[in-house]
Chains A and B, each alone.
Chain A
Amino acid sequence: MDNKEFTALVVPFQDRLYRLAKRILVSADEAEDAVQEVLLKLWRGRKNIGSYRSPEAFAITMTKNYCLDRLKSKQASNLKIVHTQYQSSDSLEKEVEASEGVEMVFKIMESLPEQQRIILQLRDVEHFEFEEISKMLDKNETAIRVALSRARKAVREELIKKYNYGIK
């Protein structure tokens, strides 16, 4: 597999990896670094890439593991996640600002436990089937449904709470 073929293979799901990484790491810069690192790892192991049933699912699992490791090492070294990139970096935020409460939803998603965040991202943003998510995360479908339900409810409750208090 040469450079071109590899790029053709990963480009279709590159943005998905980035969004997942950003959901976990929050900072856009760090998410980009993570994706770059995962792609390098995939490139080095490209000989085996054909043997995976779905290179995309494999890449998502790698990204998730890599980001969780990053998070862990960061907590271990007592560094705080820097949120500076969050407000300004993407055109997305600007686009979305107009619609009320959406930014609040993003903030709420950030406050969820990592596993719930990952599952919410894979299901409600990327629209993967439960079966696929189950393989990516190596968890059974029931556990995923439960975590997803908790995540969705948490978002709802936080949203209602914030509305009722009239914050923002």
Chain B
Amino acid sequence: MESSEIEKILNAYFEGNTTLEEEATLRDYFNNHRVADYLLQYKPIFIGLEAAKEEQSNRTFQVPESEIPTSHKPWRYAVAVALIVAMGVGVFYNSNTGMTPEEKEALVAFENSKKAMLFLSEKLNKGAEQLSYVDEFTTAKDMVFGKE
């Protein structure tokens, strides 16, 4: 490109009136071409700007790994809520059909005392059966002594 053309773009450049394409032309001219003597003073600017673009950091930037699960949190919450609800419902139904510990204890006591009563009445009946012999004794006595 003609150095006069470059000079024109250069003037616009310092006024802030160049397009990105024109600025690319300037960078290309000063970085890759033989620069006219009277424009040499501008060379460092465009070489510097070109070099500044290559600057990089050696550090690897990281976002915390531990925060990854947060993206699954809604799902986890759902499971937790479902579990709690399931447990709650389970306990609710259990408490309806089943009994409290006191009730269970009372039932056991009731069954035990019922058993004890039955045992007692059984023995009592047996005893009452034996009493029939006493009646036999009376009949025998009546037979011997006759009815009075």
Residues of A within 8 A of B (CB): 1-3, 6-7, 10, 14-15, 18-19, 22, 28, 31-32, 35-36, 39-40, 43, 90, 92, 95-96, 99-102, 104-106, 109, 121, 123-127, 129, 145-146, 148-149, 152-153, 155-156, 159-160, 163
Contact = CB atoms under 8 A, between A and B. Distances in A.
Contact of B55 (A3, A14, A19): A19
Describe B's contact surface by its main secondary structure. helix
A136 to B, nearest CB: 15
24 contacts: A2-B68, A3-B65, A3-B68, A19-B55, A35-B61, A36-B62, A39-B62, A43-B63, A92-B52, A96-B51, A99-B47, A99-B51, A101-B48, A102-B48, A104-B44, A105-B44, A105-B49, A123-B23, A145-B17, A146-B16, A149-B14, A152-B14, A156-B42, A160-B41
A90 B17 CA distance: 33
Q: Determine which residue in B17, B55, B63 has the highest number of CB atoms from chain A within 10 A of its CB, and name it.
A: B55
A1 B59 contact: no
B101 interface: no
Contacts of B62: 36, 39
Given A3-B67, A95-B54, A156-B42, 9 more contacts: A15-B56, A18-B55, A39-B62, A102-B47, A125-B53, A126-B53, A129-B20, A152-B16, A156-B45
Interface residues of B, number: 32
Chain A at the B interface: SS class: helix
Contacts of A95: 51, 54
Given A35-B61, A145-B16, A152-B13, A19 B52 contact: yes
B95 interface: no
B130 interface: no
A91 to B, nearest CB: 9
A106 B14 CA distance: 17
